[in-house]
């Protein structure tokens, strides 16, 4: 009986050590953009998928720049993450949909996106960087919207 108990405790401690040692790994990024080429999420990690968020547009005649809209979207997503007990540091994957800005001749404002993005990711206060894909699209469901972002967040609990 004592052997069985000792074996059970040994087995339980081995699993506990393995689970505690499993961490989310982010590949080093040498680029200026606050993204990483890959993120490895260990088994047993809780994943939270956030639907695409659009900016708040107060004045349809002046919907704002890509940079301004990105800040708006990131703020909305931060609130959604917080409701799940998460933050920007828990984001492992982002997909960004950009519409060409009419003020830039229909070209996407990648620099504006990245300027606002770098305020939320890869900072001294929040150094984590997610993997990210950015896609140019013809339009979004909200008139005047230039940016939609969706997140996947992961947390070892």
Look up tokens 């000792």; give the residue. 6
Domain count, the chain: 1
Range of the domain at 133: 2-155
What CATH number has the domain bearing residue 67? 3.30.1330.40
pLDDT tens-digit profile, the chain (157 residues): 565 544 444 545 554 444 445 899 999 988 889 999 999 999 999 999 999 999 999 999 999 999 999 999 999 999 999 999 999 999 999 999 999 999 999 999 999 999 999 999 999 999 999 999 999 999 999 999 999 999 999 999 7
Helix (H, G, I), strand (E, B) or coil at 131: strand
What's this model's pTM, rounded to 2 decimal places?
A: 0.85
Q: What is the DSSP string of 55-86?
A: ---S-TTS---HHHHHHHHHHHHHHHHHHTT-
Measured CA to CA, the distance from residue 59 to residue 40 in angstroms comes to: 41
Query: Which residues on neighbouring strands pair with residue 136, listed in sequence order?
Result: 98
Helix (H, G, I), strand (E, B) or coil at 52: strand
């Amino acid at each position: 009986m004592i052997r069985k108990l000792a074996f059970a405790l040994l087995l339980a401690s081995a699993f506990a050590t393995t689970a505690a040692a499993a961490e989310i790994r982010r590949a080093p990024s040498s680029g200026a953009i606050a993204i990483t080429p890959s993120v490895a999420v260990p088994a047993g990690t809780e994943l939270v998928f956030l639907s695409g968020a659009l900016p708040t547009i107060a004045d349809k005649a002046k919907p704002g720049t890509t940079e301004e809209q990105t800040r708006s979207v990131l703020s909305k997503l931060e609130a959604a993450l917080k409701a799940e007990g998460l933050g920007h540091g828990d984001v492992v994957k982002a997909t960004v949909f950009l519409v060409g800005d009419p003020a830039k001749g229909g070209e996407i404002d990648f620099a504006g996106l990245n300027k606002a993005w770098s305020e939320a990711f890869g900072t001294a206060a929040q150094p984590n960087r997610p993997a990210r894909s950015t896609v140019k699209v013809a339009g979004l469901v909200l008139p005047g919207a230039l940016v939609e972002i969706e997140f996947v967040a992961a947390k070892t609990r």
